[in-house]
């Protein structure tokens, strides 16, 4: 099943496409459109079908009601008369294009994967000169899905949560359209509470043979409340093993990930291990169960010590009063990331995928720049 949209001013619509103009506001009975139109304009440059006209969606979002599942999205963008500059996020605020540029006269075609769980596929545009010529959304069951189970350092942010960002939000950026990210991570959860709330069961309802389950818990397993606390020597690895067994029961591949470090330094500029023996518990379990391990703790330690205490503020949620709209009084958060930081952490995860040679994933990573 596919959904096709032709963007631009009123006029001739290509057969099989829905026409979307700068005044096409989303309505439930229409089932597609821009969520707001005050920053959307439209232009016709040539008589070429699909590429001769476009919408200019400044800081705007286009949505389409579609069945839940995985999609390959093909987007055409460019301008016959002017250079363009576009950034794009999809469902879960997943980054797929960042500062994407075309020169005058160039029409570009890009593809990416999107996982839909709420009956709506969303395209949120930014950039200095965004253009949108056409979009095709093709539902498919052929893509590999990476399911993410984790906490707030992994989760997708809310639409109004900027600049907060989990690394799972950024993982899509590094893959071609053959791989889709289904981020089930949620803030405040431990390996124990994620299961007790039925979230692992929700993944099991969807995950299939050939998919992957990435598992990162630890930040909240240290909390003292009964709902979340696990012991690093006993109940913590016992709960993590439930994720491993669940993935394998569906012939999917589990991947354990050690918790990313917090931003705490000793007097010599070395990262302090705030996760204590939880990190070793993950490493030991990976060896015992013959599970692939991405040691994000070790990788983030190397990165944070290389950057130093001051420079890592650009990774974490640090800001002066007035710097971030959602933290007008300033913020000093040594656990959570801002978007540029989560992009760097996601890159560490991708490096782990390459080093492990997880073949069905590495073959679909975008070329390194």
Nearest to 295, CA basis, from 281, 279, 307:
279
Is residue 158 within 8 A of residue 166, CB to CB? The reply is no
DSSP 8-state code for residue 176: -
User: How many residues in total does the chain contain?
Assistant: 369
Burial label for 74, CB within 10 Å (0-12, 13-18, 19+), is middle
How far is 349 from 15, CA to CA, in rounded Å? 43
- Only one residue has tokens 């500029």, namely 269
Task: Return the structure tokens found at 262.
Answer: 């917090």
Catalytic status, residue 336: yes
Is 99 in a helix, a strand, or coil? strand
Active-site annotation holder among 124, 134, 152, 300: 152
Catalytic status, residue 152: yes
How far is 182 from 167, CA to CA, in rounded Å? 13
- Only one residue has tokens 């993935």, namely 247
Q: Under the phi-then-psi rule, with left for phi > 0, alpha for psi from -120 to 50, and beta for the rest, what region is 89?
A: beta
Catalytic status, residue 28: no
Active-site annotation holder among 158, 320, 323, 328: 320
Element (H, E) at 348: helix 339-356
Beta bridge partners of 149: 215
- Only one residue has tokens 């930040």, namely 219
Helix/strand number for the chain, H first, E second = 8, 20
- Only one residue has tokens 């990476």, namely 146
Catalytic residues: 152, 320, 336
């Amino acid at each position: 099943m596919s959904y096709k949209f032709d963007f631009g001013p009123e006029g001739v619509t290509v057969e099989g496409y829905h026409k979307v103009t700068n005044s096409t506001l989303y309505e439930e009975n229409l089932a597609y459109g821009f969520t707001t139109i005050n920053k959307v304009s439209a232009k016709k440059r040539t008589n070429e079908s699909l590429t001769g006209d476009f919408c200019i969606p400044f800081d705007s979002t286009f949505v389409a009601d579609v069945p839940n599942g995985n999609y390959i999205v093909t987007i055409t963008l460019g301008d016959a008369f002017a250079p363009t500059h576009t950034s794009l996020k999809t469902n879960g605020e997943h980054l797929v294009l960042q500062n994407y540029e075309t020169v005058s006269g160039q029409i570009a075609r890009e593809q990416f994967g999107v996982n839909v769980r709420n009956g709506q596929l969303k395209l949120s545009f930014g950039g200095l000169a965004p253009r949108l010529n056409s979009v095709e959304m093709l539902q498919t069951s052929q893509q590999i899905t990476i399911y993410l189970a984790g906490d707030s350092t992994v989760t997708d942010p809310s639409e109004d949560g900027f600049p907060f960002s989990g690394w799972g939000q950024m993982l899509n950026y590094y893959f071609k359209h053959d791989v889709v990210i289904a981020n089930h991570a949620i803030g405040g959860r431990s390996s124990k509470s994620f299961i007790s709330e039925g979230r692992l069961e929700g993944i099991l309802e969807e995950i299939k043979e050939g998919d992957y389950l990435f598992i990162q818990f630890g930040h909240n397993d240290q909390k003292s409340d009964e709902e979340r606390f696990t012991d690093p020597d006993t109940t913590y690895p016992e709960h993590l093993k439930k994720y491993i067994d669940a993935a394998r029961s569906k012939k999917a591949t589990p991947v354990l990930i050690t918790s990313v470090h917090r931003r705490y330094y000793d007097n010599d500029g070395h990262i302090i291990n705030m996760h204590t023996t939880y990190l070793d518990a993950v490493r030991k379990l990976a060896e015992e169960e013959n599970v692939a391990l991405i040691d994000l703790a070790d990788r983030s330690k190397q990165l944070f010590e290389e950057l130093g205490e001051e420079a890592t503020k650009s990774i974490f949620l640090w800001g002066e009063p007035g710097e971030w709209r959602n933290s007008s009084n300033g913020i000093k958060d040594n656990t959570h990331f801002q978007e540029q930081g989560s992009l760097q952490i996601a890159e560490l995860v991708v490096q782990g995928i390459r080093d492990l040679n997880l073949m069905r994933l590495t073959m679909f990573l975008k070329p390194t720049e």
